[in-house]
Amino acid sequence: MTIRLIFNADDFGLHARVNEAVERAHGQGVLTAASLMVGSPGMDEAVAIARRMPSLAVGLHLVLTDGVPVLPAGRIPALVQKNGRFRDDMAGLGLTLAVSRAARAEMAAEIAAQIARFAETGLQPDHINAHKHFYVHPVIGAAAVRAARSAGFPAMRVPNEIGGPALQNAWCRVMRATGLPAPDRVVGLRWSGEFTAERVLEALRQTPGGVTEFYFHPASSNDVPGGAPGYRYTDELAALTDPGVIAAVRDIPRGGYAAMLRA
């Protein structure tokens, strides 16, 4: 079976330093796709970059925790903190969504709002995934897939990685069976924030046939406002532009989710 690769950057639109890295990694490196945070401060700049680079496949990075909602906080009180940002207690929020019909209605409205804002950009949707993979929560995942399918999103990430958490991978099997088309596997979850060139090359040597997504968080500096403490953002950018990595994938088909899943 032919190897096909997706090199994707999450958090596109989070900040200008992330946007700069995505532009550089696509123009000078191996990056093929990026996932857009439509409620974040750098969103407009990210959209302008995507329009300048039509070969960059762009999808929606659905945010329901650790970020900024699209809807006013007053419309989604179960989902937000007093400062108007989404709640960061993922376990607590997950429980709220499981037991509260009102909270689930708020979540569905916010998902619809983020999909609508993506549509307003005029960009062709390539995929949907979720910040911090929060849609491994069954309630979130089911709602996100329904909404994305209705909006014409052609593909999604199923965040399963060999050796990943058993419970997460069990839900990933359900997502794969009932959701949108997805790559066969994701590589880089266990190295999130520290997916260096050496690790990319190691993973490439072990990549089987089928569609594999390599998952990154590049930025032009390590002090990204709103970013994850301790992430080696610049090392991940360096991996995406590393001459050895570029050479290693030169003859391997690469692209966005939709293109690679159609091939």
pLDDT, tens digit (0-9, with 9 covering 90-100), for 93-151:
999 999 999 999 999 999 999 999 999 999 999 999 999 989 888 899 999 999 999 99
Give pLDDT tens digits for 181-202: 999 999 999 999 999 999 999 9
User: What's the pLDDT score for residue 177?
Assistant: 78
Which is nearest to 107 in space by CA: 151, 77, 131?
77
What's the pLDDT score for residue 163?
A: 64
Domain of residue 207 covers 3-262
pLDDT at 251 over 90: yes
Phi, psi of 254 (to 5 degrees): -135, 150
Per-residue tokens: 40: 């974040």
Residue 51 structure tokens: 């329009």
Instruction: Assess contact for 248 and 42: CB atoms under 8 A.
Output: no
Residue 221 has pLDDT above 90, yes or no: yes
Kindly compute the dihedral angle of the four CA atoms of residues 79, 48, 194, 27, in this order, to the nearest 10 degrees: 160
Domain count, the chain: 1
Span 156-184, mean pLDDT?
77
Dihedral (Cα; 208, 159, 153, 26), 10-degree rounding:
-70
CA nearest 212: which of 162, 138, 141?
Answer: 162
The lowest-confidence range among 164-168, 221-225, 230-234 is 164-168
pLDDT tens track for 111-127: 999 999 999 999 999 99
Does residue 162 register a pLDDT over 90?
Answer: no
Percent of the chain's residues with pLDDT above 70: 97
> What is residue 60's three-state secondary structure?
strand
User: Which helix (H) or strand (E) element contains residue 27?
Assistant: helix 16-28
8 Å CB contact between 66 and 42: no
CATH number of the domain that residue 25 is part of: 3.20.20.370
Could you tell me the pLDDT band of residue 263, with boundaries at 50, 70 and 90? confident
Examine the pLDDT at 167 and tell me if it is beyond 60.
no
Q: What is the pLDDT of residue 155?
A: 96
pLDDT at 174 over 80: no
The encoded tokens of residue 20 equal: 């700069």
Rounded Cα distance between 151 and 223, Å, is 35
Q: What are 46-73's pLDDT values in tens digits?
A: 999 999 999 999 999 999 999 999 999 9
